[in-house]
Amino acid sequence: MSARDAILKRLRERADGPLSAPESDFSVVTNRGWSPAERLARFERWITSVHGEVIHTAQADWTQALAKVLADKGVRRLGLGREHPVAAEARAALADAEVELVDADRDIEGWQREQFDSLEAGLTSTRGAIAETGSLWLWPTPDEPRRLSLVPPIHIAVLDAETLEDTFFDVVEAHGWAGGMPTNALLISGPSKTADIEQTLAYGVHGPRELVVLVRHAEEVE
């Protein structure tokens, strides 16, 4: 009998019943108790500390903020979905703008080179954000594939202020990740970055060099 078989045999023949998982204390990763204003301030502080850009806008005016971002950054080709409300509203608002709207829900083999060579920015929705780490979380779909946020030089993400939560644990618990997690869940904490052996950071080497977060508020932003 091998050592492995001997161990398994002892486990099967336990006299005191089956093993049970020990009690776990998750209090260290939750229960921050931050107010909505504190969550937003923490999120913004962390994501801007790694070169993320945050722009606050009223819910009713967010497409105007988007148009200004595109104009300021010289974006002429924008990749986006069609079905999500964020994409649908953006398409309607930019219909007469001097920006080419590029459908993202196409077979990757058909437009792979186009994505890498000529797409200047990608627009996505978000499912929420994490105040403790300054992270966005996205669940990619065929309408908004993961490459839309990972390939173009500029990623523009739309975040509703009320979807901010304190910690990653709170997100997992509140949204039932254990029972319904997608094949890809993205946590984004700033533009793409890497470091050499001397720990010198470089941005945009393996993905977007810029991350712009449009934070939508239900009320007017002063």
Q: What is the pLDDT of residue 221?
A: 67
**Location of structure tokens 């937003």:** 40
pLDDT per residue as tens digits for the range 104-159: 988 877 777 788 888 999 999 999 999 999 999 999 999 999 999 999 999 999 99
- What is the token pair recorded at 63? 């497409």
Half-sphere exposure of 176 (CA within 13 A, CB side): 2
Find the DSSP H helices in 51-120: 62-72, 85-93, 108-117
134, 144 contact by CB (below 8 A):
no
Domain ranges in the chain? 35-217
CA distance to 62, 91, 213, per residue, from 147 (Å): 23, 19, 17
pLDDT at 10: 80
CATH architecture designation of domain 35-217: 3-Layer(aba) Sandwich (3.40)
